[in-house]
Amino acid sequence: MEAQPGRTNRRRFLLIAGLPLLAVGGLTTYAAWPEPNPDKVRVRTDLDPLKSRFGTYVGELTEAHWLGYDMDESPGDRTIPSPDSRIRLVGVARLAAGTAAAIVRNAEYAFTPTVPAAALPAPLEKYLPADAAWQHSPQYDAYVNRPQSDARPSGAYHLDEARDLVHFDLVYLYT
């Protein structure tokens, strides 16, 4: 049985027109799919999530640039999430005037000059002053990182008295 000329031309047209449309649709879907990679996510400036996590311990936050993402999720993960998730909050926030100095001068915490150990994700680097005089205290970290009802936080807080900044790099384990 021979193919009819009109039917062959229609199939050829659908093949030629349909494949590029499918490819464009697939690429658009891939490009729009959210990525957990911290270097490709949008820098957040909203204060409420930070205030609810540690605002009562560091005082009033007036400005922030930060990232929050699930550390265990990879770009290929499209399955049911793990029952245990580790959420990383990392960034820098401005405190009310004089707050950082008041915290650092509290003898109970024994702050010392330091350089934050963890590398900051690339999107946040421009918000961290290169000449900041960071102070750190393991006792203060322990005070702020007390277990919460839904998570166990861990991480470090570095304070700059002159600029009233707090640099935070935290992991919240939700079980």
Q: What tens-digit pLDDT sequence spans the chain (175 residues)?
A: 565 666 667 667 666 766 565 555 554 544 444 444 444 578 999 999 999 888 889 999 999 999 998 877 655 544 555 566 788 999 999 999 999 999 999 999 999 999 888 778 999 999 999 899 999 999 999 999 988 777 788 999 999 999 999 999 999 887 6
Tell me: do 11 and 94 sit in the same domain.
no
Tell me: do 106 and 44 sit in the same domain.
yes
Tell me: do 111 and 86 sit in the same domain.
yes
Tell me: do 49 and 23 sit in the same domain.
no
The residue assigned the tokens 């959420």 is 87
Tell me: do 48 and 72 sit in the same domain.
yes
Q: How many CB atoms lie within 10 A of CB 61?
A: 18
Instruction: Count up the domains in the chain and report the number.
Output: 2
d(CA 128, CA 64): 11
Q: Note down the domain range covering 137.
A: 38-174
| First CA to last CA distance, the chain | 66
Tell me: do 82 and 161 sit in the same domain.
yes
Does the global pTM surpass 0.75?
no
